[in-house]
A and B are shown apart, each in its own frame.
Chain A
């Protein structure tokens, strides 16, 4: 029969052996993983052993002195978007937006719909409208027409405009209703790294700041994809649209544009 032996005692061989072996393994692994292996990396420039340990522990370190920090040579968007942004606009905000929108009617139509091959804004996501307005204002998105029109808009003005256009009802386009979405919209081209258009722009799933494309003029969509492909338009901060557009064929651009125009 077992006597009531104390486990947590240096005289208990099970205790000393198990704790000793575990500590020994952890110590050896730590010395190898935190000191020896990092120092073997030829590319790393550690100032001392402590620097190597901090690096192996995952601490955020400054770039090595003298290293070049690469920045974009063009203006990037300053808008930080989260999915809850600009939700639940007040009636006052929508009203102010309606007044401000009078200056937009020439191109975008009296109620956000036009035949001028400019984007239809009625029912567009508020985040999209707000972001594009800010980008026009800062110069992140270049447009000789839009730049002077947004120059004197305040941040509140742009939020009000976004609220107003989001509030307007979307209207069915004049095109015939499209059938099954084309492959590029529904499935993308996985082997070329092209996600389905529908994965962000509706149809399958909607993502924050991705525009509502259905019923937009085909020529506008084609032009924008072309601008993304050449890099003339670059206000997608993660290059997600530039990467997609660059790899799309002209035929895919045409078919995707036609499809969205003919929706819903």
Chain B
């Protein structure tokens, strides 16, 4: 079943339950709660995915509406039923354990929104527009905060991006308006369920934009990797060389304190560092072309583009003689990393058990050839990966 079919099933499920309740007990407060439960269940499948942060399901916004609409007990019951429905319908995570973990996480996040709202409402006293907006905004922040902390613990990464923060703002402002528009400031007016429906539109617009951004980013990354694999498919380089070099170079850059942006450029350069080879004439004697010529040809191609020009600079720097005085420039340092990572892969030939030998060979090279700091970082990375144990020494 496709995602939108699942969303439709969950929304219609909520609507049917609401209609059933309305027929059996006209005017019951459970009918709108059932509709909101359906929206929470469906909203779990529509996630804002800002880069480098936890995905934010738009159900977080409906949780705030639920918090405003029902008591803590009622809201908790609706939340559990809604999350159970999503648990049964969702396709990701594929494993039952993964889905159970997500189910538990969402229950905690939803309960946090409900408890924070009711706690704030009790503390702030008589409702006014400004107090209500404040309480709703804080309640909307609670599940976001828990999701983000969960991601940081899982990924051991505390960094966030501007786009990530903007998604938070979109979710908090929309959730606030959705909750307030449903029953107004006094709890007896408002637009009814039309309100949350209408104020979902900005979130859907944000979701649409993030989806497109994610697709284009992925396509770009895959295009670079495909281009990087071309020399391998042509038999000019060993299989997997570019990917292995990129992986090692990024790890080395990480040890040397490179920023996220510099690591991205280094990875691109590593993936494409043999691209120049496809433009060169094959030497008549069957030997591979000179590395310097390959690097220069590749750098020339990449420097012709706006996005890949920095990667071109790194490739050009790969075969510059290592000189301490100028190696503080990011592209030069990245070039030195690329040279070490590429040489290491050629020496180890992709066999992990040869790591220590390859490292020793690099250390034995003339001092001017490889940057000592990069070799030190290589030592650390290989040690962390457990590749230096019981070898050679």
Decide if A and B are genuine partners: no
Chain B contacts to A: CB under 8 angstroms? none
Chain A contacts to B: CB under 8 angstroms? none
